[in-house]
Structure 1
Amino acid sequence: MTHLRPIPVLQPGEAMAARLAREPRAFRLAELVAMSSERRARTAIERGEVVRLLPDAYVSSLHADSFVARADAALLWAGANAALSGAAALFVWGLIDAPPSQIDLVVPHTDRPRGPEWVRVRRVTWNLTAGRVGSLTLVSRDLAIVLGFGTLPRDSRGRVVYRAIATRATTPDRLAATLARVPRCRSRRELLARIEAAARGAESHLEEHGARRVFNTREFGQLVRQHRVRVRGELFRIDMYDAATMTAVELDGAAYHSTPYQRQRDVRRDAILASMGILTVRLTYADITERPQWCRSVVRDVLAVRRTTDSAPQRSAIGGMRR
């Protein structure tokens, strides 16, 4: 995993501090000296214009708190065989939105780097393959999920799995295969449950929660998960569908249903489905997570009413039902 690190070239009259300010990355002392001179490099360090984050890993003081600079410093310090892992790799891959305060690394078991608290090193005996994103070396998306899943807050773990699958960064089968070859990882059972839920068709934590915790009783066993219908040439995915009554149950997470555009899209969708006699019942994130019994009662009552009317294809179109 060794990669050449080009050394920036100073322009005539350009100060080292000004040049490094344009480089959110780490440098060895020898690189700073080669860029200018030993005297100018040490002067920049003494003035605090360049700071040492780790042994022989220096960054511009402007970028000392930057995730990219700190991640690059950790990789430079740990050696050519190191790779970003866990939440650090998940952030670089775009699978979590906020950079972690701790940098996770994996290294071969023969390497023994020891760093400060903000760097966590895992030594592994299994084959380690890594790729590159920009200037950073990191493990694959699948391995980042397996190693980082248990370190994330509980309310964000599912989103990582479903986002990776929804964006086609991985598949449930690939994730399961990667998990099988890693002997130790945190929250293994929970991750496996999420992978299995995704393999069954769940595309969000809310859908998984609804299927496992809310509509998991026998009376809702007839609901088809992730049903797809085509109306007027458009394909629609329904979270849960009762074929006998032509009723769609949608579990609306805030991330995809809260903006004016998204609400307008949902209204249009409900109208198109209603033109075929399909009634849409929408339940919000708060409904599903805070009052599951109410959700069961609403869906139960709607299905009961729909069963007592005429056959589904002959029903008049009904708009989406909301609280």
Structure 2
Amino acid sequence: MRTAISSGRVVRLLPDAYVGAEHSDSFLARAHAALLWAGSAAAVSGTSAMFLWGLVESPPSHIEVLLPHPIHLNPPDWLVVRRRVRPPATAHIAGLAVLEPADAIVTGYGRLSPHTRAEPLYRAVRSGLVSPDALADAIRRAPRVAARRELSTRIAAAQAGAESFLEEVGLRSVFNTAEFAGLLPQHRVRCGDQTFRLDLYDPVTRTGIELDGAQFHDGSEARQRDVRRDAALASIGIQTVRFTFADIVQRPAWCRQTLAEVLRARER
């Protein structure tokens, strides 16, 4: 072992935690070393846990672990240790103890840059990995949460039916006036052997409202899919009105006016 270390073939990450030199920068290797060093009560948390659950694309530069409050350790620069009297429940991924998805989001949300925070939360909700109610329960149980107010507002939007940042803006800031109080978020419609989910639906006029984010609606294939979907819905009497990301974010008043005119015309 001494020979391997002195020759550089093995690297010491933490006390009693060594790894082959070629793997010394690996996220998984460092996470395993961190839990080995921190003890059986530790768990991967925060953005590190979000990465392991597949909610963020790239591994964070620092491994974050959560420990029971009385335990004190002096971590290296690449390891962040946070403490909590009663650590939440964990699951196991790749042999690592990892916070359950709701607690992973609550502990990691505020550590992400502001412009990247919404998608991981909504990705977890869309995929069924976590429910909005479970997120609300997790934030109630957490004593300290970075960006708590923003996260609470976003969870409330998810509970109201939002499954993306664009839908959140639509529900909270665009179609949130009294004249749109009857709109149903995330309404599912069966059309033949297909089921479609409408971002918003007006049951009085049978109008579907779609908020088209560039991530899911760019490209010829996506456009063709949207056209076919709209045609299928029209065959059962549902007209689809689509608003783009730019319209929702930059022209909310125009969106409100346009939809109000469509609904009045459909009602007639």
1:108–1:128 CA contact under 8 A, matched in 2: no
2:210 maps to: 250
Q: What TM-score, normalized to structure 2?
A: 0.90
CA drift of 1:201 comes to 1.6
1:196 maps to: 156
1:165–1:171 CA contact under 8 A, matched in 2: yes
Number of matched pairs: 268
2:67–2:82 CA contact under 8 A, matched in 1: yes
CA drift of 1:125 comes to 0.7
2:200 paired residue among 240, 244, 259: 240
Residues in 1 aligned to 2:260 and 2:171: alpha-carbon distance in whole angstroms:
15
Residues in 1 aligned to 2:170 and 2:2: alpha-carbon distance in whole angstroms:
60
1:11 maps to: none
Q: Which runs of 4+ in 1 moved over 6 A?
A: none
Greater shift in the superposed pair: 200-209 or 285-294: 285-294
Write the letter of the residue equivalent to 2:37: W
How has the CA–CA distance of structure 1 residues 150 and 261 changed in structure 2, closer, same or farther, with 3 Å as cutoff?
same
- SS of the residue 1:69 aligns to: helix
Structure 2 residue 132 is matched with structure 1 residue 172: yes
Q: Deviations over 1:77-136 (max 9, x none)?
A: 222221100010111111222111111111111211121232111111114432211122
Q: Which structure has the larger Rg?
A: 1
Structure 2 residue 118 is matched with structure 1 residue 151: no
RMSD: 2.0
1:208 paired residue among 155, 168, 176: 168
CA drift of 1:274 comes to 1.4
2:227 maps to: 267
Residues in 1 aligned to 2:229 and 2:248: alpha-carbon distance in whole angstroms:
21
Between the two proteins, what is the percent identity of the paired residues?
51
1:312 maps to: none
Q: Deviations over 1:182-232 (max 9, x none)?
A: 222112222222222222221222111111012222333332222222222
Structure 2 residue 30 is matched with structure 1 residue 70: yes
1:54 maps to: 14
Q: Deviations over 1:134-189 (max 9, x none)?
A: 12221111211111111112233222222222222222222222222222211222
Residues in 2 aligned to 1:289 and 1:98: alpha-carbon distance in whole angstroms:
27
1:103 paired residue among 63, 70, 91: 63
Write the letter of the residue equivalent to 2:216: Y
2:88–2:103 CA contact under 8 A, matched in 1: no
2:122 paired residue among 153, 162, 175: 162
Q: Which segments of 5 or more consecutive residues in structure 2 lack a partner in the other structure? A: none
Greater shift in the superposed pair: 280-289 or 142-151: 280-289
Residues in 2 aligned to 1:117 and 1:297: alpha-carbon distance in whole angstroms:
54
How has the CA–CA distance of structure 1 residues 75 and 301 changed in structure 2, closer, same or farther, with 3 Å as cutoff?
same
2:14–2:33 CA contact under 8 A, matched in 1: yes
1:91 maps to: 51
- SS of the residue 2:54 aligns to: coil
- SS of the residue 1:186 aligns to: coil
2:252 paired residue among 279, 283, 292: 292
Q: What TM-score, normalized to structure 1?
A: 0.76
Q: Deviations over 1:45-70 (max 9, x none)?
A: 22222222333322222122221112
1:140 maps to: 100
2:186–2:200 CA contact under 8 A, matched in 1: yes
CA drift of 1:247 comes to 2.2
Write the letter of the residue equivalent to 2:192: R
